[in-house]
Amino acid sequence: MSKNKQEDILEAAMQLFAERGYDGTTIPMIADKAKVGAGTIYRYFDNKESLVNSLFVKCVTQFSDILNSEFPGNSGDVREQFSHIFYRMFQFAKHNPYALLFIDSHCMGYYLNEESNKVYDDFLAFIIGAIEKGQERGAIRQLPSNALIAIVYGAFIMLFKMEQAGALENTGQLLEELEESCWNAVRII
């Protein structure tokens, strides 16, 4: 029997939400997977909406922390910063695939509250900041920073989904090539 039921509930909910979406996942499904009674969920969360928002904030915060930690800020050059963000994204994807799928498929959900949206916006703001620094130094194309994010993050998400679907085997060698491809998309050539 598990020690921390709240953790069990969050883990089960994350996997189910990632696979079937918010509305496609029922409370009994979560209870079954977490091996708790349905009522137990309501000892830890006010309701289903509160659960999905808690989970969303948790996952985005984890993702953000991974990207931020050891980020080569003002010291490192732009190429190095890009590399850091790119590899950290894949590192997170490898260790937390459900979290990433969950974030990606729920970040526009109508059930997200103000706090969830703010956490997600702050997360994007960190990447935007790094990109704009790179532009000032003349290493990155003069496109809207949102466009540059979309290209790199969009490519990353789709690559990850391909790998999840078994349509792509991600070796270390390939990852380096993909990093170079994405860098070519945003750098000044």
> Which residues are near a copy of itself by CB under 8 A?
19-24, 105, 108, 110, 141, 143-144, 146-147, 149-159, 161-162, 165, 167-168, 174, 177-178, 181-182, 184-186, 189
Cα 144 to Cα 35, 126, 140, 147, distances in angstroms: 47, 15, 11, 5
Q: Terminus-to-terminus CA distance in the chain, angstroms?
A: 58
Residue 42 contact partner, candidates a copy of itself, DNA, none, CB within 5 to 8 A by sort of partner: DNA
Nearer Cβ to DNA (111/126): 111
> What 8-state DSSP symbol labels residue 75?
S
Across 41-111, the runs of DSSP E, i.e. the strands, are none
Q: Which of the residues 15 through 44 are near DNA (CB under 7 A)?
A: 25-28, 35-43
Return the number of the residue (47 or 61) whose C-beta is nearest DNA.
47
The dihedral over CA atoms of 66, 122, 83, 15, expressed in degrees to the nearest 10, equals 50
Rounded least distance, CB 52 to DNA, Å: 10
